[in-house]
Amino acid sequence: MRNKGAQLIIKDSPKQERPWGSYVVLEEDKDYKIKKVVIQPGQKLSLQLHYHRSEHWIVVSGFAEVDLNEAQVMLTKGESMFVPIGVKHQLKNPGIIPLEVLEVQIGEYLEEDDIVRFPEESFSLIQCEPYKEETDEKISTT
């Protein structure tokens, strides 16, 4: 697919598996990249920031906990969050189903090495745990 004045690339890229889930690049051009990110229940991305790109996250399904600087925001299906360049952020899935997010990166440099990771202790917010409904009901084995 070709766009006027730009080299638009529609990716047929493989899924990238990570300990927290996976992502696939859906489309990219020289100034933007669109990914579908899937975060498994109870998992999270590293606490990080980027010097050369901003990100816009749109929740497609599931429940997202977003830490942005030292604020915490909860997002559900159809809601979104803008992450400016140079802002410390983290995306978590406190739910019981996979979190699916469309991530739009905008910037002059969009490679994976534009990630500055921080240790968890450097962020003052409490870690989330996936929600699990407790029940007093006992299961009979007889």
Mean pLDDT of the 128-138 span: 46
* Residue closest to 75 by CA, chosen among 61, 88, 89, 90: 61
pLDDT, position 125: 45
Which band of pLDDT confidence, cut at 50, 70 and 90, is reported for residue 6? low
Do the strands 53-61 and 80-83 form a parallel or antiparallel pair, or are they unpaired? Answer: antiparallel
pTM of whole model > 0.85?
no
Convert the pLDDT of each residue in 83-114 to its tens digit.
Answer: 999 999 999 999 999 999 999 999 999 998 99
- Ordered DSSP codes for the chain: --BTTB--EE--PPPEEETTEEEEEEEE-SSEEEEEEEE-TT-BPPEEE-SSEEEEEEEEESEEEEEETTEEEEEETT-EEEE-TT--EEEE--SSS-EEEEEEEEES---TT--EEE-GGGS-SPPP--------PPPP--
- Which residues does residue 66 pair with via DSSP β-bridges, in sequence order? 73, 91
Convert the pLDDT of each residue in 30-54 to its tens digit.
Answer: 999 999 999 999 999 999 999 999 9
- Residue with the bigger pLDDT between 10 and 52: it is 52
Domains delineated in the chain: 9-118 (2.60.120.10)
pLDDT, position 141: 46
Nearest-angstrom CA–CA distance, 67 and 46: 11
Which band of pLDDT confidence, cut at 50, 70 and 90, is reported for residue 11? low
Convert the pLDDT of each residue in 54-86 to its tens digit.
Answer: 999 999 999 999 999 889 999 999 999 999 999
142: number of CA atoms within 13 Å, CB side? 0
